Structure 1
Amino acid sequence: MSFFQKALASIGIGSATVDTRLDKDTYRAGEVMRGEIIVRGGQVEQQVDTIYLSVNTTYIRESNDHKHTEVAALQKVKVTEPFTLVVGEEKIFPISLTLPFETPISAGKTQVWIQTGLDIKNAVDPGDKDYIRVEPTALAGHILDAIGGLGFRLREAECEQAPSRFRGYYPFVQEFEFVPTGQYRKHLDELEIVFLSQSNHSAEILMQIDRKARGIGSFFAEALDMDESYVRTTITTHDLPTLQAKLQQIISKHI
């Protein structure tokens, strides 16, 4: 092993490579992802401190009237203990990782990816990036479908920095912005839904119900955000038979 080869490997030339292969590219939040990580040795022997996997997404943070895109790691796990990778060697590591319930779904501008990295001292760490499609939990899917059944159309879905009082495990929430197309068109400007916490059996949601301005008094109310009503409620699987009626009752109460 020449000094020159070591020098090249330290800047990523002729060094180890990593490739993550998942069983599929679409998952439901809360589902177990399975696959394998393939590591191939380069032109020199290298000591790998660890292999890590992380589930990442981006969100918008506003500061001083400017929007900044930040990366958030929803989960990061250590796959291996330190090991030596000899020249040209190939190692395969099976992986199993549960996608957090709070993983934003693939809608609008939202993207989610799996980042794989090798920690190698005194070298550029090799990495791999695999985008996945994330579907909502069964319960969240029923909630979004029920909103659509009430005559609302999804206009935008985006992850934004969450106010501290609504912040859970992560610094952001995914907002679903709907516009009324049916019976609520004359009463509401928009409806926003945020999932604050989820499991297989329940979901805590925050609904922002934005009424239309009516007359000069309502105009000033809108200017002060007094036309917006916030409703925090929990939906469980027991609510499924009457879910649409329950959501309709909440919305109608605030128009």
Structure 2
Amino acid sequence: MKGVLSRIGIGSATVDTILPTDTVRAGDSVRAEVHVEGGTTDQEVDAVYFALETEYKSDEGSKDAIIDQWQLTEPFTIEAGEERRFETTIDVPRETPVTTRSTAVEIETGLDISMAVDPGDADYVEVEPTRRTQAVFDALASLGFSLHASSCAATAGSLFTTSTTFVQEFEFRPENGEFAGEVDEVEVVPVFGDDGLAVYVEVDRSAGLLSEVTDADERHTKLTVDAADPEAVEPRLAAAIRDLR
């Protein structure tokens, strides 16, 4: 009877991932410890697996997105009441969205158990931008802009050439400086590729950079960011905004 119950999740093994911090940076790695505790009966675990997940908007509504997924272990048996611990390194891809009020990212840990409900654990993490993306944000702050909103949306039919199914757009508004009273909003979309970071920039267009190509006008440009140096990015960004306003 215990074996039957464990197949529907009652008395089954459990898994818990312990992170040293709930804040990570896109493009960096973080150490983690995985605790697996046996249930009321022995169970065959095919694998301990991870998935890094978020959501994005599409024409069909909100969709779940797996940013990355990987397997931690080979098959093993977890005996009733047994405790096992595994150490691992979680690599956070550059493309991982920055967490904001509208964007959440979670690390899901699961046990792959045949013919049973897979036990799982979900940990929400705060994701900081890559250092190059942060340089863009810092440059915008120096120019008097502050972040107003952000969203993740599907790339299908958009301006971007990327292998990912979605990108994240950030909307900044000027509070002081040269562009206060001159532009309403600057939208930026970081896109990562083999050559590094490309940042698409647009000023004031209501449709936004995530609109379809058929709706796009010429009021956008693209900057390549080679290093995490806000002082190098700022004059180029300022020049682009002047040209686009």
Q: TM-score, normalised by structure 1?
A: 0.85
Q: Which runs of 4+ in 1 moved over 4 A?
A: 224-228
Cα displacement string for residues 177-203 of structure 1 (whole angstroms, at most 9, x for unaligned residues) = 11233333443232110001168x942
Instruction: Please list, as runs of the form range in 1=range in 2, the aligned pairs for 1:12-161 lying within 5 A after superposition.
Output: 12-63=9-60, 68-161=61-154
Q: Secondary structure at the match of 1:106?
A: coil
Give me the whole-angstrom Cα distance separating, in 2, the residues matched to 1:238 and 1:53.
Answer: 30
How far off is 1:133 after superposition? 0.8
Q: Percent identity?
A: 39
Q: Is the 8 A contact 1:189 1:210 kept in 2?
A: yes
Is residue 207 of structure 2 the alignment partner of residue 210 of structure 1?
no
Give me the whole-angstrom Cα distance separating, in 2, the residues matched to 1:118 and 1:169.
Answer: 29
AA matched with 1:52: Y
Considering fraction of residues, name the structure with more helix. Answer: 1
Change (3 A) 1:238 1:172: closer
Give me the whole-angstrom Cα distance separating, in 1, the residues matched to 2:216 and 2:155.
Answer: 20
Residue equivalent to 2:192: 197
Give me the whole-angstrom Cα distance separating, in 1, the residues matched to 2:227 and 2:171.
Answer: 23
Residue equivalent to 1:217: none
Is residue 237 of structure 2 the alignment partner of residue 247 of structure 1?
yes
Residue equivalent to 1:184: 179
Change (3 A) 1:96 1:71: same
AA matched with 1:14: G
Residue equivalent to 1:235: 225
Q: Is the 8 A contact 1:102 1:198 kept in 2?
A: no
Q: Is the 8 A contact 2:138 2:230 kept in 1?
A: no
In the alignment of these two chains, the number of paired residues is 236
Residue equivalent to 1:9: 6
Larger radius of gyration: 1
Give me the whole-angstrom Cα distance separating, in 2, the residues matched to 1:194 and 1:166.
Answer: 9
Cα displacement string for residues 85-129 of structure 1 (whole angstroms, at most 9, x for unaligned residues) = 111111111111210011111223111110001111111100000
Q: Is the 8 A contact 2:144 2:179 kept in 1?
A: yes
Q: TM-score, normalised by structure 2?
A: 0.89
How far off is 1:151 after superposition? 2.1
